[in-house]
Amino acid sequence: MAGISFSEVRHTYRPPRGKPVLALESVSLDVQDREFVALLGPSGCGKSTLLYLLGGFIPVESGAITVGGKPVNGPGRERGIVFQNFALFPWKTVRQNILYGLEKQGMAKVEREKRTQDLVELVHLKGFEDSYPSQLSGGMKQRVAIARTLAVEPEILLMDEPFGALDAQTRALMHEELLAIMRRAPKTVVFVTHDVREAVYLADRVAVMSARPGRIKEIVDTKLKSNARGEELLQTREFNDRVDHLWKLVRDEAIRAQGAHE
């Protein structure tokens, strides 16, 4: 089971110079097994900090984070992360990038080669196995990054604005790609984004965070009942009502954050 629980999480950044900054305060949130939850909020609200705490890249200093009932004390194989900047090895081909984690695990060659080819096909990169990242478009690079993360079969997928660097058309295509992948290989997903429409389109629930120090302001159910998909869903009243509601929440927090800096 890959359920996640944040309980009264508090985090302070302590830079070498300057005053400490309280980034998160009393954050409590439960994510169910195989649920897709988006974290949404103004810049600087602590969305990525919360994700990195869950990933085990930053130690939990106050409160608790558990995965499957066990406390997070560092990175773990059950949690895979996809970054905005792709984070691919530029000297490795598509195949070699995907193989990397499997080689580190010591998987038998025949098995890891088969899994890699299956993932290449899953993310629609057949024919590009021997291409290097410099030869790929932004969307293709992100497909490689997703495939590399899925290769080690994490139960939880952590995504830090994975489509933020892509143009609008590629971003829309990647939304469809991600949802298709999740249908074929369901995961628990925690997805950080600034994009309200992206959050509503992809997530089952959206947790809106307040301006710094980040708290959970409201959790909105975005698992829409409509049978429409793709462009049709974007035109429904149900979808646009959710977008409008979330946008107002985020806008209010962005205005509050701006006022705090003036």
- What pLDDT digit, counting tens, does each position of 56-75 carry? 999 999 999 999 999 999 99
Q: Is 242 exposed, middle or buried (0-12, 13-18, 19+ CB in 10 A)?
A: buried
What tens digit of pLDDT does each residue of 189-246 get? 999 999 999 999 999 999 999 999 999 999 999 998 776 677 788 889 999 999 999 9
Which pLDDT belongs to residue 144? 93
How far is residue 243 from each of residues 47, 63, 82, 169, 217, measured CA to CA in Å? Answer: 19, 31, 25, 19, 16
pLDDT at 262 over 60: no
73 and 170 part of one domain: yes
Mean pLDDT of 106-124: 90
Paired tokens of 205: 């629930």
Among residues 7, 24, 9, 14, the alpha carbon closest in space to that of 213 is found at: 24
* Residue 122 pLDDT: 85
The alpha carbon dihedral of 144, 234, 158, 154 has a sign of negative
**Residue 249 in domain:** yes
Which CATH number do you get for residue 194?
3.40.50.300
pLDDT the model gives residue 260: 62
Residue 158 placed within a domain:
no
Name the domain boundary from 153, 179, 196.
Answer: 153
Residue 85 confidence (pLDDT): 80
Please report where in the chains the tokens 């996640």 appear, as a residue.
4
Residues 238 and 205 in one domain: yes
Give domain status of residue 144, yes or no: yes
**pLDDT beyond 90 at 165:** no
CA–CA distance, 183 with 106 (Å, rounded to integer): 28
Quote the CA–CA distance of 214 and 209 in Å, as a whole number. 6
Q: Is residue 238 part of a domain?
A: yes
261, exposed or middle or buried, with CB in 10 Å at 0-12, 13-18, 19+?
exposed
Pairing between β-strand 188-193 and β-strand 156-160 as defined by DSSP bridges:
parallel
The pair of structure tokens assigned to 250 is 């985020």
92 — pLDDT class (breaks 50, 70, 90): very high
Please give the average per-residue pLDDT across 95-102, as a whole number.
Answer: 92
Position 134 pLDDT exceeds 80? yes
Which pLDDT band holds residue 168 (cuts at 50, 70, 90)? confident
The H-or-E segment that residue 157 falls in is strand 156-160
Share of the chain above pLDDT 70, in %: 97
Indicate if 134 and 70 belong to the same structural domain. no
With bands split at pLDDT 50, 70 and 90, how would you rate the model's confidence at 1?
low
pLDDT, the chain, mean: 91
Looking at the structure, tell me whether residues 145 and 168 fall in a common domain: no
Predicted confidence (pLDDT) at residue 257 exceeds the cutoff of 90: no
Instruction: Pick the last residue of a domain from 113, 129, 153.
Output: 153
Domains in the chain, number: 2
State whether 170 and 206 are in the same domain: yes
Expressed in angstroms, the distance from the first to the final Cα of the chain is: 46
Q: Give the residue carrying structure tokens 């985090």.
A: 11
